[in-house]
Structure 1
C-alpha cells in the first residue's frame, strides 16, 4: 500500500475525528507479513545457545498478539514448543500499531523504548541478535520538559551531566546532589527488584522469597530497603526540593499509569533503569519492535493467526484443555493469555472462577486521549520526546485518580519523531503524537461528547506552555483515540492503557501472577500481569510466562529461575 493511503481496518471502524474534519477509521499496521498463518521453519543452523526445535512436544496457544504475547510465542517456540498465536484484530502487535494518513506515519501506542536487554534476552533464546531484526537508535536528551512558568530543561542520560544541569536550572537548592542521591536509591531499588521481582512468576510477597532458604539478614535488609512506608512522590521530594524538577521525576511512574502520590517507592527503580540503559527509538517506529518479534516467531516455526478471536477456554477438572473459537474447539496442552488478566478470568475462563473475579475489586490504571496530528510545520524547539507539564501536579493527579475526571490542566506527552526519523512526515512536517492521561472509563463518561471540548483543552495547553501558538493552523491530518476506543479495541479493563494501577505502599508493586493459581495450564502475560506495564515489562511478562510454562512442562523447580 502506498505511503499516505490509510488502510481501512474494520475492527477500528467508527472512531471519528473531532469536527470539522470528516470521520475516518483508524488503520491497521502498514506492513503485513506474508502468509501470517503459515508456520515457517528456521532455515538457519542452530547458533550457540539455541535450543533444539520440538524438544517437549507441548502444544501451546497464545491468546493476544500484543508485545507480551509475541514475546511469549518467541520464547516458547525457542524452547521447542508447538506454538499458535491468536488475535482478534486483523494485525498483530496490539497497541504497537501504526497509522498512515496523508503522507504521515504515526505510532499509535507505545513510543518510548527502554531496557533493551529484555529484547536482547528474548532474541538470545534462539541464538539470534535483536540487531539483526531492528535498527535501534539511542536518544539523548531522553526528554525535553516544558513547565507552566515558561522554563525548560532536558533530561540527560548521564547522571553527572544531569546533576550539573539541575544545579544550573535551580541554583542554590542542592538539586544536583539531591538527584545523585535519588539515583542511588533508584539503583538500589532496581537491584532488589532484579533479585526478587524480575524474570520470575510473582503474584505476592511470598512468591518473591523462599522463607526457609532466603529469610536471612541480607534478605531482610533488602526487604526493609524497599521503602514500603513511602510513595514515589515522597521519596523524590525528600531529595529534590525544586517543585518543577520533582514533577519531572514523578513522571517515571507514568510509564505504569499510576499516581506518584499513591504508587510505592519501589517504582523509583524506573529512573535508574532508564539512566543506565537509555531511551531508544527503533527506526520505522515502535511498530518495528512488533514486526521484529513477528519475524522471529515465524522463523522459529510459530503459527500466527490474526483475525481469529478466541471466545473462551476449554477447561476440564480445573485444567486447560484448549480454546473455543468460532470454528469450534481447538485442543492445546497449555495456554498463555496476553489479554487483560482480569478480563481473561471474567470472559475466557468464566464459570465459578470468572464469577469470583466479577466480585473482586480491581483498580484499573489510567486511560488516555491520544491525538495524531499531521502538521505542515516542524517545531524545531521540540525534542523527540517532550513533556508539557501541568500547572499543579496534585490537582492533576487528584482529578484523574481520586475524582475520576479529566484534569483541568493536564500534562501532555509529545512524540515529535521527525528529528530522528524524517520518513514519518512530508518534508518540513511533523507526525505529532499527543497523549494526555485521563481516568479509566466511568459509567457516566461519554467520550463521543466529551472529546471536542477536551481536545481544545489539550491544544490550548500546547499553545500556552509548549510555545506552539499556531498549532491549530498547522494541522493537515487529525485522528484520535479515546478511552472508549481503547477499551473496545484492545480488550483492556475499563479502557486502562496500563492494566491495573500500581497503588498501595506494599501490594502496589504486585500484579496477577504469570502462572494461574485458579486454572492449571493457564499462564498470563501483558501489562495487567506481573511485572506490569511499559514496553520492557510487558515483553518481560511474556518471557516469564513462557519460561514458567516450559519449566512446568519439564518438571523444573522454579526457584532455580534467573
Structure 2
C-alpha cells in the first residue's frame, strides 16, 4: 500500500533515499529550505563563472555506478566523466610539487624515484588497501549500523589489529620521506579526522585515490545532483524548494506531520537528510534521542573557509586539484582538533575546474575554488576571512610563480556562519561527524529514531559517514529500513 513520505533536505543522501522509496511505490516529497536543490552540493553561477559550492572530488566511481544500476541505469545515461591526469598536485615549495599520476604503475615509479625501495612497499600497501576496499565498500558500508555484529565477518576477523592501530602509525612504519607520508595520509582527511585518530583499516581510501583514480563530471559535481533529480522525477518524486521545516509533530511517540512554512503536512513517514542535530531540535525535547552533551562530546570533521574566485586571465603552473602542503601539516591538524583556533599557517586546497571544463569560466578566464580547513565552532568574522584570503593568495602567487590577486574580478566567501545559516550545520561543520574508532558503524547516530516511530535520518552524521559515496549508501540503507517497517505495519 502506498504511503506518504516527507523528506527534509535535498542533498545526496536525501535524493538517494527518495529514489529508492519512490521505486518501492510510495508517494515521496522532498522539502528543501533553500531556493535550489543539492544541499551542500549546490552550484553558484555569477558573472559568467560557475562553481560547485561543496564537494569537488569524484572518487569511488563504482559506488555511483552501483547506485544508478539499482534503477536499471548507468551514470553515462546522465553525465560524462573525465579522468583527471594528473589526478592532483601536491605543492611543497616554489616550483616544487609532486604530480599524482592517473595510474598506479606510474605512481609506484614516482615514489621509487623519491625514496629508494618505496615503490615495492607501495605495491604491498596498495594490495592491502584494495583488500580493505573490497571488504568495506562492497560489503560493510551497506549495513545499517544496527548491531556491532555487522562488523564481524571472517574477513574482518583477519584484520582486527587494523581497527586498533591508526593510519599515521602504519604509514610511518613503511615510509620515511615526509612528502610521501603526507600524500598517503591525505585521503583519510575526507573521513573527517586526523590520520593518527583514524583506524588503519581505513587505508582503503588510498585505493580509492591511487587505485580507482580521480574523476570529474564534465561540467562539475552539480551534474550528479541534476542526474539524481532527473532520476527522482522519473520515479515520481516531488521537489518543493523554499520550504523551511519549522517542526516535526509527534503524537503517542509516532511522527505524524511536519510544519512547512506554517502549514501542517501529514506524513506516514518522515525522513530527514538535514543536519541530525538540527532535526532533533524540531522535536519536542522529550523525543530527542541525543542530548547537547552528547553532540558536544563528538569528534566533528572540520568546517571550511571557502572562496569562489573568478580571474580575468588563465592561471599557470596549476592542476585541476592542488594541495598546498608548504607549511606544517601536523600543526594545522592540531589547530583544528586539539587546540581549536584559526591556524597561523594554514594548509589549503585549490580547485580550478575551468582547466577541465571551459564552460565554467568566460573565454580566456579561470574559475577557482580555494578551501582552508578550520575547527568547527570557530569565530567567523569578515575581517578574518579577508585576512586568510590574503595569506593563501600570497602563498599561491609565490608557489606558482605568478601574480593573480590583481586579476580577480569576482570573489565570494563561505565559512562557518554560512554553513549554519544555509545548512543548519552543527557548529558549522562542513563534512559531518568524523569516522574515528568510537564513531564507526553502530557507534554513530542511528538511521531510525530510537524514540519516535516513523522518524528516520540519513546523511553524514549517521551511517556510514562523511563523503558523497557514503551519502548515496546512507540513502539506500535508510530506505531499506523504511520499506521493511512499512511492510510490517
| Segment of structure 1 superposing worse, 471-480 or 513-522 | 513-522
Contact 2:440/2:464 (<8 A) preserved: no
| Stretches of 4+ aligned residues off by more than 6 angstroms | none
* 1:371 corresponds to which of 307, 312, 315: 307
Note the C-alpha offset of 1:64: 0.6
Aligned to 1:152: 97
**1:33-432 maps to which residues of 2 (within 5 A)?**
56-148=1-93, 150-168=95-113, 170-172=114-116, 174-194=117-137, 197-202=140-145, 205-209=148-152, 218=154, 221-222=157-158, 224-225=160-161, 227-345=162-280, 347-354=281-288, 356-360=290-294, 361-432=297-368
Deviation string, structure 1 residues 228-278 (Cα, Å, up to 9, x no partner): 222221122122221011111211012123211222222221111233433
CA distance in 2, matches of 1:94, 1:349: 22
Cα gap change, 1:261/1:350 in structure 2, threshold over 3 Å: closer, same or farther? Answer: farther
Structure number with higher helix proportion: 2
* 1:448 corresponds to which of 382, 399, 404: 382
Note the C-alpha offset of 1:357: 2.0
CA distance in 2, matches of 1:396, 1:390: 11
| Segment of structure 1 superposing worse, 195-204 or 293-302 | 195-204
Contact 1:340/1:491 (<8 A) preserved: yes
| Segment of structure 1 superposing worse, 122-131 or 239-248 | 122-131
Note the C-alpha offset of 1:195: 6.1
Aligned to 1:545: 478
CA distance in 2, matches of 1:79, 1:139: 37
Q: Which runs of 5+ in 1 are unaligned?
A: 1-55, 557-562
CA distance in 2, matches of 1:407, 1:289: 33
Cα gap change, 1:74/1:418 in structure 2, threshold over 3 Å: closer, same or farther? Answer: same
| Segment of structure 1 superposing worse, 103-112 or 124-133 | 124-133
Contact 1:78/1:125 (<8 A) preserved: no
Deviation string, structure 1 residues 356-410 (Cα, Å, up to 9, x no partner): 4223132321001111111122223211111111421111111111111122222
CA distance in 2, matches of 1:526, 1:355: 17
Contact 2:289/2:449 (<8 A) preserved: no
Aligned to 1:512: 445
* 1:437 corresponds to which of 373, 383, 386: 373
Deviation string, structure 1 residues 184-232 (Cα, Å, up to 9, x no partner): 22122223324653112115634434xxxx6xxx25624515x122222
Aligned to 1:19: none
TM-score (structure 1 length as normaliser)? 0.82
Query: SS at the partner of 2:327?
Result: coil
Cα gap change, 1:240/1:102 in structure 2, threshold over 3 Å: closer, same or farther? Answer: same
Contact 1:374/1:431 (<8 A) preserved: yes
Aligned residues: 486
Note the C-alpha offset of 1:302: 0.8
Contact 1:320/1:335 (<8 A) preserved: yes
Q: Which runs of 5+ in 2 are unaligned?
A: none
Cα gap change, 1:89/1:336 in structure 2, threshold over 3 Å: closer, same or farther? Answer: same
| Segment of structure 1 superposing worse, 131-140 or 487-496 | 131-140
Query: SS at the partner of 1:180?
Result: helix
Note the C-alpha offset of 1:526: 1.4
Contact 1:181/1:239 (<8 A) preserved: no
Is residue 393 of structure 2 the alignment partner of residue 459 of structure 1?
yes
Contact 1:107/1:286 (<8 A) preserved: yes
CA distance in 2, matches of 1:317, 1:257: 37
Query: SS at the partner of 2:14?
Result: helix
Query: SS at the partner of 2:197?
Result: coil
Deviation string, structure 1 residues 461-496 (Cα, Å, up to 9, x no partner): 21233x154121221111111111112111111110
Deviation string, structure 1 residues 54-91 (Cα, Å, up to 9, x no partner): xx412211111111111111111112111010011011
Note the C-alpha offset of 1:355: 7.5
Note the C-alpha offset of 1:334: 1.3
CA distance in 2, matches of 1:151, 1:448: 32
